[in-house]
Structure 1
Amino acid sequence: MTQKNKLLTLSSFNSQYLKHIWRDGFQDKNPEWTKWNEPYFNDYYAYLSFSQFEHSPITDYLLSNSCKCICLDEKGIGMVSKNWIDEVTRWLEIGIVIYNPTYWHGGIGSRVLKI
């Protein structure tokens, strides 16, 4: 089954999705996704255990109203964030991170923006 045929949703983060994100994005010392995470290149920190990750500022941010989990067939693979720079001028900053390179180059980011 190709990625295009899989169910893609945006959901609020829960414990299951956080575990997926920790495994794919925050265990390794230098994960590939951090090389493309401009302007936050130097903000990455690896968490050796899920418990450390679960009690981190990253998890606080993921659980905020600004973030949604990108889910592919009910597996958390990334996040979408939104932050208003200026609501009057409708200047909205959007971020997309897909943590596991296996899911890159399949159109997921474009599909998520439409959702």
Structure 2
Amino acid sequence: MFTFDDIRLRPAKTEERDHLWHFIYVDNEWKAHDAPYFPLEHQSKFQFRRHLFKRLKEAKTAMVIDYQGEAVGYLSCYWEEQSTRWLEVGITIFASTHWGKQIGRKALTLWISHLFEYYDVERIGLTTWSGNPRMMKCASALGMQEEGRIRKVRFYQGEYFDSLRYGVLRDEWQSLQQSACGLRSVG
């Protein structure tokens, strides 16, 4: 559906249902970095099929991240407050073998661009925590601004961490994308 180099965002395929469920609820290495202070609410395969997998198949509020023909993660969006058009994004890359390859950065670039085209919003946000330096680096590299830091509110494994809010405005994003396209076309 959307492509950036070796990354494709697309709807989930029916035959991937068990594969995706397994990486989300069983072999969930990603959870150690994605808000591990909140327990993962396990879903049966039936519940998964009716909820998140349905969203992934519809590809409106969630999409599969395809890297070299394999589903390696997914993106989502959700309303923090729909009445004020406060939209947030989330990303999950399942296995550490795919971390550090800019898969998340490329996927989020496609996703945020799509969301700005699809939704009438002026800002898109992303929330993470200081225990996930890769996500902090990714948000900054995308051109998102650190808009809020709530200090020492995430307690995990005997240590306090900060909660971080990043955001980018529509005009900032458009300017960043125009600059990036100009740089790519010159090289």
Alignment of 1:3-42 (within 5 A): 7-28=6-27, 31-38=28-35, 41-42=38-39
Q: Which residue of 2 aligns with 1:100?
A: 95
Equivalent-residue separation in structure 2 for 1:58 and 1:102 (angstroms): 26
Q: Which residue of 1 aligns with 2:81?
A: 86
Structure 1 residues 85 and 58: alpha-carbon distance in aligned structure 2, compared to 1, 3 A threshold: farther
Equivalent-residue separation in structure 2 for 1:18 and 1:74 (angstroms): 15
Equivalent-residue separation in structure 2 for 1:59 and 1:107 (angstroms): 31
Aligned residues: 103
For structure 1, the residue ranges without an aligned partner over 5 or more in a row are: none
Q: Which structure shows the higher helix fraction?
A: 2
Q: Which residue of 1 aligns with 2:47?
A: 56
SS in 1 for 2:26: coil
Q: What letter corresponds to residue 61 of structure 2 in structure 1?
A: S
Structure 1 residues 57 and 21: alpha-carbon distance in aligned structure 2, compared to 1, 3 A threshold: closer
For 1:51-90, what per-residue CA distance to the aligned partner results, in whole angstroms no more than 9, with x for missing partners? x52x124762232142111111221111100012234644
Task: Report the aligned-residue RMSD.
Answer: 2.7
For structure 2, the residue ranges without an aligned partner over 5 or more in a row are: 111-187
Q: Which moved more, 1:75-84 or 1:11-20?
A: 11-20
Task: Give the drift of 1:94.
Answer: 0.5
Structure 1 residues 59 and 88: alpha-carbon distance in aligned structure 2, compared to 1, 3 A threshold: closer
Task: Give the drift of 1:99.
Answer: 0.8
Equivalent-residue separation in structure 2 for 1:101 and 1:82 (angstroms): 23
Contact in 1 for aligned 2:21/2:48 (Cα 8 Å): no
Moved over 4 A (4+): none
Q: Which of the two has higher C-alpha Rg?
A: 2
